[in-house]
Amino acid sequence: MDSGSIFLLLGVLSSFSGAYGCVFTITNNCPHPIWPGTLSGAGTPPLPTTGFLLNSGQSVRIPSTPGWSGRIWGRTGCNFDASGIGKCQTGDCGGRLECDGNGATPPASLFEITVGTGDDKDFYDVSIVDGYNLPLVVVPRGVFGPCNATGCASDLNLGCPKELQVVGGDGGQAGGVVACKSACEAFGLDQYCCSGQFANPTTCHPSIYSSIFKHACPKAYSYAYDDGTSTFTCKAYDYTIVFCPDADGTKKASNETTSNPGIEEPSNGEFIHLVSSSNIRLPFPLAVVLLIVINILF
């Protein structure tokens, strides 16, 4: 295949990604259940689900739309009744299974993203600015090649300073530290919150507490102006979000896919395999067009 054909194929892939957003593949590698939550940014529609149960070893795929922005996080120690009313020990979002526009109650580890439209790149990060409750790693699958993985694979709860600790409950850690507050939440001081006279990058600097987070998780946001080493760009068709990754930052090979209302599953007919080596999945009508293009090029 000549270089012109390669660029044409890449252009087709890029236009599909720009027209249909990306897919978030969420995996629970923790030894206990988690309840992922999603929050859309202003002006962007909610994802097909805003909160659900994900048992240990299970994965789901959630499609997004072009230009979508928002957050995804994991909740622990949750109890909900049949109507979806209840409470989570960490990451709670208004006392409901479906977050419905409510954000995570700190402390919570957050994946944040703005999905690009057209040929525009995505901007993404993992933030522990609002504290930490679960380790997570995010691995994008780029349209044009590899993208930077990011996240916080370390268990910060194990080394959390006593004054930042959230202790108790279940979530797999009965009676132990279940979350680690940010210094801003714990003390409410301007120099920790980057507010007041510290509300700019010149006067707001890393604190001893954010430095502990940064040392353990160098690619994650540790304080408000930590952009330089913590924000990444990519044009991706899939973001694999793994909670409690293995030591090498991956998930277990034996993970199964669960079924949740409003979530696209890998076996669903709307997504089909096109290139098995890179696991690209695209909406069915465009997949047919792309197969025709590939046949012409080859």
Share of the chain above pLDDT 70, in %: 73
Number of domains, the chain: 1
Residues 232-255 have pLDDT tens digits of 999 999 999 999 998 655 555 344
Residues 45-95 have pLDDT tens digits of 999 999 999 999 999 999 999 999 999 999 999 999 999 999 999 999 999
For residue 130, what pLDDT is reported?
Answer: 94
Query: Tokens for 186?
Result: 């714990």
Q: How would DSSP label each residue in 115-136?
A: ---TTPPEEEEEE-TT-BSS-E
State the CATH number of the domain containing residue 120: 2.60.110.10
- C-alpha–C-alpha distance, residues 33 and 53, integer Å: 7
Please say whether the beta carbons of 62 and 266 come within 8 A. no
Query: Tokens for 260?
Result: 């949740």
Which of 270, 288, 286, 262 shows the shortest CA–CA distance to 14?
286
- Establish if 165 belongs to a structural domain: no
- Establish if 250 belongs to a structural domain: yes
- C-alpha–C-alpha distance, residues 164 and 180, integer Å: 5
Please give the residue that has the higher pLDDT: either 140 or 144.
140
pLDDT band at 175 (very low <50, low <70, confident <90, very high): low
Query: Tokens for 113?
Result: 């993203």
For residue 57, what pLDDT is reported?
Answer: 97
- Establish if 241 belongs to a structural domain: yes
- Establish if 236 belongs to a structural domain: yes
**Is the bond into 36 cis (omega within 30 degrees of 0)?**
no
- CA torsion 273→245→133→73, rounded to 10°? -10
Residues 101-143 have pLDDT tens digits of 999 999 999 999 999 998 899 999 999 999 999 999 999 999 9
**Domain limits for position 244:** 3-155+208-297
